[in-house]
Structure formats: C-alpha cells, structure tokens
A and B are shown apart, each in its own frame.
Chain A
Amino acid sequence: MTIDLQGLVQPDRVHKRVYTDPAIFELEMDRVFGQVWIYIGHESQVPKPGDYFTTRLGREPVMMVRHADGQVHVMFNRCPHKGAKLVPDGSGSAGKFLRCLYHGWTFKCDGSLLSVPLRSGYECTALDLKDPQYGVRKVARVATHRGFVFASLSADGPKLKEFLGGVATSLDNFCDRAPEGEVEVAGGVQRVIQRNNWKIFFENLHDTIHAVATHESSWRAAKEEHEAMPASTPKPFEVVIVDGNGEPLEFWEKLELKGYDHGHGFMEGIFVPPTDPVSLAYVASLEAAKGAKRAEEILRVNRHNTIVYPSCSPHTSFQQIRVIRPLSVDRTLVEIFSFRLKGAPEATFQRTLKYTNIVNSPSSNVMPDDLEAYNRVQEGLGSNGGDWVSMHRAAGRDQPLPGGRGSNGNSEMPSRNMFAAWAGYMGVDTGVKTNEHAGSAK
C-alpha cells in the first residue's frame, strides 16, 4: 500500500493523520526510528560484565550488555536458534555468558556464539556454527556521549555528535554538574503507558502555555498551601516545583526556546537556582571539586526540559531522563530514570527523586493532568470534527541560530522544528525550501 504523505505537514499546521493513522506509524518505525540515533540507556545501568538492560529500538526488542572486556554492546534480544528473547525484559546479570532459556544455546556477552548442545547433531548439516549469523545480531551502530548510549538501526547517517548538535551541551552539563564529572542511574524506573501518539508527548515538553491551564488544580493548591503557612515561611522545595506552573503567561514569554537540526531543542531553566541548605551544600560540593569559577559556569547553564528527538528528554538540573518509546499509533511508553551526581551529597539525589515523584510520576498531582490532556487530544483527533492541528503561534518570528533557531517562550517553534525534522525523515514535502527547515537541512 502506498501512503500519500504529501501535504500532511505544512509550515504552521499538521494534518491529524500524522497522530492517528496506523500506516503512518508503521512508516515512522522504518523512516524515523529505523534510521536515527535512539537513546538506549546509560552505561551505569550495566556496571559489570554480564549485566544487561533491555529496551526497544523502534519496533525491535534490544538489549544493552557489558562484555567481559568492559565494552557495552547493543544487540537484538533474539536467539538465532528459534528466535526466543535471550534475556527477560528489564535488567539483571546474565553471568559470564547469555544462555537461551529455550534450548540452552549460549553466547558470549559480545553476542558471539559460545556453544550449542548436541553439537554432533549439526555435523554434516547446512548449519555452520562458525557462521556469524548464529551469533546474536548487533544493531548497525552504537555510540556513546559522556556515558549515554545511543544506537541506530541504520549503518548510514550522521555521527552521534553531529546528530546531537546543539543539545550535546545538555548532556555535557548533565554530567558536569556532578563533582566527579560522572552520573549514574539510581533509584529504579517509573513506567507510564500513555494513551496518545508519541509526538503529542514531545510537543508538550516545550509547550509553555498549557501549564497555567492544564495544571491549575495543582499549582493553585500548592500556592494556597504556602499562603496558609506562617508569614515568613520560606517556600518549600515541593511548592516551588509545583506552583511554578502557575506563572502568568508573560513569565513564559520571556523565556528562551532553542530548536536545533534533527528536531532537538531545549527550554531555558524555569526555576531560579534555590538558596536552601540542600542546594547550597550541593553547590559547595561542586565548588570544592571544580573551583568557584568553573562551578559558576556549570550552574549558569540552567535548562528545563531538553528534547533529544525522537527518543528522550533529559532534565539537566534535576538529573532525570524521560525515555519515549512509541508502542502503537495511540500508545506510548514513557520511562523515567533518575540519576545520581557522583560526588554530590546524598540529599541532592533525594531531591532528584522528589522532583520525579512530585512532578513527573503518574501518581503525582501534576503528570495526571497532562495524561488527561494527551488522551483528550488523541481521542479528539480521532473524530471527524476537523482535520488540522494548529502550530501558528509566533510563526514567522523565529531567530536563526547556528544549527537551528531560537524563539521566545510562548512560541510554537519547537513543534514546527520537530515537524520539519519529521517531514525530512519521512520524505514529506512541506512546501518550504529545504534550507529553511530546521530539520534535516544541511
């Protein structure tokens, strides 16, 4: 079946089918998730040889495994014998080798075949155990940036650093904030299956003006809670991170949004660096390790959500990464990983967990507001009440930047930027000259 995508993406609006058509979703799996660099996980999730972590790369079940020599491999989670997934979903240690639970074929942790039972049965058959096809298949490319592991199903394409472009600095700052310059995943993972297309979640990450409306119940409750406290009570951290959503639209207007090639971008920090004891102790630990000048440089890079399109969203100042895995056209798995800054006080990590629990957890007072909105969008788009989704706000006012574009905080530039990249990957003519795209243009 040929799918006509032409005309579905215009510079300031997109057709609802990009969110609702299962055939387009399948094409995305080939043309976007089957091509680009996808965030797999962090090296600290497989600290020792034999450790594994499973995830999805587009449609593909894959596993990240650390080999005896310390190298991290990303391979298809599939036994070459009968096709069974070699390791169970999740994470753990396979020991010195991977053993399929079905017939006991064994593989070294770099995927090469170690041994098969009844080797004598394969004598004089067409199956040659030395043939690499009887090892676990590796994905086409794997690369890391500061311990963050990315993989691509395509042998061709830009190198990771080039792909990350302007958001590589977010991953750098994520690590630089650690007194030891390294981070590690800690505290488990929160998983949410959202009833919406994956792109709706990405657009919301830089959608500033939804906050005051969507999150009114939680930010207003937080404000009232603080007002009920004795007059000079400093605003507790828990209130700061919730009532920020109630900032008036002019507050967001002044923020800066950056959009980069390949759909990436980040939002300037919305939280003023706090001066409470936990924050001050953390700053002191960073200054002790790096010196006051360098610490100040690091902390000056204050960003809210970063978008690494189309697979993850790091939050550099609260040490969290949300990983986005499309499951079907209207189902999206979001996994929330918290990170520990190596060398920082334990209270800093507790604050990271607090941010995850209070703002981004599905059982918080904030995230369910978003989930409700996403689901309403998905269901509304499925109706015959209209065909188009607007991205007009502040269209035509973007400021060119090296490798991308900038805008004020209330612009829908990020959505336009992501769709420009999407159109490039999908082969959709947007009617705009190629060099005006923020997406795949070169």
Chain B
Amino acid sequence: MNGASDMLALVVDVVTPLTPAIKAFVLRSANGEPLPPFAPGAHLGVQVVQANGRTGQRAYSLARPHDGSGRCEIAVLCEPQGAGGSAWMHALQPGASLAAHAPRNDFALHAGSAPPLLLAGGIGITPLLCMARSLAAEDRPFEFVYATRSEEATAYLNEVRALGGTVVHDGGDPARGLDLRALLAAPTPGRHLHVCGPRGMVQAVVETARALGWPDDHVHFELFAGAIEQAGDAAFEVHTLRSGKTLAVPPGQSLLDVLIAAGLDPLYDCRQGDCGVCVVDVVEGVPDHRDHNLSPREKADGKTLCTCVSRAKTPHLVLDI
C-alpha cells in the first residue's frame, strides 16, 4: 500500500491564505488525470522537506469532496516551532511540484439513520468541512460545530456558516469552549459523532461521549499533529495489526498517547521507560529504543518496544496489538 506504486505526482494550482497562519492549497494531478476516488474524512500523505533537509510525510485531510476531477483541496497550519514540514508547505508557490501517497481514509463519515454530529477544533476543520460539504450536496441534515481560538484564527469561517455550522471562539481558554455535555447529549441510535482537533479537545469529547453512554462504534475521531515537534524527531505511522488501525504519531507526541487517543486501551505504568509494562511486539519496521527496560539484546533484536518513550527509525511500524 505504501510503496511507490500509490504515489501521486501533484502540482500546486492555487494558494489561498485563510488566516495569518493557515493557507489553503488546491492541488491538481500533474498528468491531468482524475485523482483516485476518496470519501469524506480521507487524507493525503504529502512528502515534505524538513528544516534538517530530510524528507518526511505529513497527513493533510482533504477539505472538499472528490468531484471526479484531478483537483483536491487541503489546508495547512504553519507551525514555526515544528520540524519545518509545514513551513516548507507554506513556501510553495503555484506551479510547484510535490508528491503524495494516494488518499487514505481512517476517519470515514457515518451518516447513519439520524443527522450526524460534526465537531471541529482549529485546523481539525478540514475533514469535517469535507463531510459537511458532502452531506449538504446530498441535501442530508447534519449538526456542525466548530471551535477556534478567535475569529481571526478561523479558517473557512464563511463556508462553515453558509453550511449552517455554529462557530465558537474560546480565546484560548477551554473553560469558555464548548458545553460538551449539552452538545453531545444522550446517545440516540444511528446518530454518529465525528470529531477532529487538538488532542485535548478530542480526548475531552471522546471521554464525555463515553460518560454519556455513547457506544464506541458511534464515536469517530482523528487527531491532527498540533504538538510541538522535538528537534530531530520525525513523525511516523503505526499500524496496529490486531485492532486494524493506522495512526500517525507526530513529533512531540508519544506512541503510547496516540494509542490511547485511538481508543486502544494499552497497558502502561511509569511513562518513562522503566517498568516495561507498555512493551509490545513489533512486526515490521525498526524501533528507535529510548527505554531503560529492554536488554541490549532485546533492543538489537528490535522485536519489542516501549510505547511510552520509544519511536521509530522507519516511517512505518507495524505492532502486534
């Protein structure tokens, strides 16, 4: 799936500043062919060049439903303290070439039998905007709520309002944010919740939903890489074999936290690489061991890894969990 075979050659068509920190990019296929089909919630794995000169991969959700053409739209938040991938994106001019993995979808829309609830935080708007646009085009009802820091920091403000969405600004103070209990309310059969945003928000939404009795299979979420990147740490992708998830581990966020946020319920204890409780089996990929638990031989074997501190030397890890 991730080999060169699914790589797309793309060209930047239009760049539109949406806020001082966010730009929208319309990309088109270099050969003019239609893009492979994708459903709302899908993302593009774009190859970027980081400040250290190494290439990396960034997952950017597609903001507009597939229209059968060779064009698609993403939006990128520039993170000056990151590893440089988003800054590289922001420097792109129309006509620039770039490569990306074909769209993948880990955050599918579940329209269900009741109007779905779409919840976005910050740059997490992109997949939900795509869902809302798709539902509106089919004239299907939905609830759409979008939380941002301020009006100036709000991408797609008019689009969301035009789609009937509610926009809330919390000024950076979560206490002024969404009343999740009121918003989510009691679960009703067929009403699916979709949320994308910063980790804290996604966690709060998922926990509130659980507390209110929402069944897990009615709650869908995706994290975007909003964390501060550590120098030298690259993002990587992890595939969990037994639970069948593919997750992005951004710089600055531990693999363990990504597993927890994805609802995998892993075992862990010390969170500092001492106790060994979080050790899992590695099926594919090379671990970057940073723990004090595994023996030198176990580290050399590379068949196990402490999820709380260790990362990956390869872009992709497959874990037996």
Contact = CB atoms under 8 A, between A and B. Distances in A.
Nearest to B278: A115
A118 B297 contact: no
Interface in A103-122: 104, 106, 114-120, 122
A159 interface: no
B276 interface: yes
B2 interface: no
B275 A120 contact: no
A97 B296 CA distance: 26
A119 B298 contact: yes
Given A97-B267, A114-B267, A106 B277 contact: yes
Interface in B271-321: 274-277, 279, 292-298
A97 B275 CA distance: 12
A99 interface: yes
B248 to A, nearest CB: 26
Q: How large is the interface on A (under 10, 10 to 19, 20 to 34, 35 or more residues)?
A: 10 to 19
Given A96-B267, A114-B267, A119 B276 contact: yes
B267 A120 contact: no
Given A96-B267, A97-B267, A123-B297, A118 B292 contact: yes
A118 B267 contact: no
A120 B296 contact: yes
A286 B298 CA distance: 61
B277 A118 contact: no
Interface of A: 96-97, 99, 104, 106, 114-120, 122-123
Contact of A115 (B275, B292, B296): B275
A166 to B, nearest CB: 46
Interface of B: 267, 269-270, 274-277, 279, 292-298
Contacts of B293: 115, 117-120
B292 A106 contact: no
A119 B269 contact: no
B267 A119 contact: no
Q: Lowest 6 CB-CB distances: which A-B pairs, in order?
A: A115-B276, A120-B295, A123-B295, A115-B277, A119-B293, A106-B277
Contact of A104 (B275, B279, B295, B298): B275
Contacts of A119: 276, 293-295, 298
Contacts, number: 44
A97 B276 CA distance: 13
A115 B279 contact: yes
A120 B276 contact: no
A326 to B, nearest CB: 38
B267 A117 contact: no
A119 B296 CA distance: 10
Contacts of A120: 292-296, 298
Contacts of B267: 96-97, 114
Contacts of B294: 119-120
A119 B273 CA distance: 11
Most chain B CB atoms below 10 A, which of A114, A115, A123: A115
Nearest to B276: A115
B269 A106 contact: yes
Contacts of A104: 269-270, 274-275
Contacts of A99: 269
A99 B277 CA distance: 10
A123 B301 CA distance: 14
A123 B299 CA distance: 12
Contacts of B298: 119-120
B169 to A, nearest CB: 39
Given A114-B267, A120-B296, 4 more contacts: A106-B269, A106-B277, A119-B294, A120-B298
B275 A117 contact: yes
Contacts of A97: 267, 269, 277
B276 A116 contact: yes
Contacts of B274: 104, 117-118
A120 B297 CA distance: 8
A120 B293 CA distance: 6
B305 to A, nearest CB: 13
Contacts of A123: 295-297
Contacts of A115: 275-277, 279, 293
Contacts of B276: 106, 114-117, 119
A116 B293 CA distance: 8
Contacts of A114: 267, 276-277
A115 to B, nearest CB: 3
A104 B270 CA distance: 10
A123 B297 CA distance: 8
Contacts of A116: 276
A347 B77 CA distance: 63
Contacts of A106: 269, 275-277
Nearest to A106: B277
Contacts of B295: 119-120, 122-123
Contacts of A117: 274-276, 293
19 contacts: A97-B277, A104-B275, A106-B276, A114-B267, A114-B277, A115-B276, A117-B275, A117-B293, A118-B274, A118-B292, A118-B293, A119-B276, A119-B293, A119-B294, A120-B293, A120-B294, A120-B296, A123-B295, A123-B296
A116 B274 CA distance: 9
A419 B292 CA distance: 59
Contacts of B269: 97, 99, 104, 106
Contacts of B270: 104
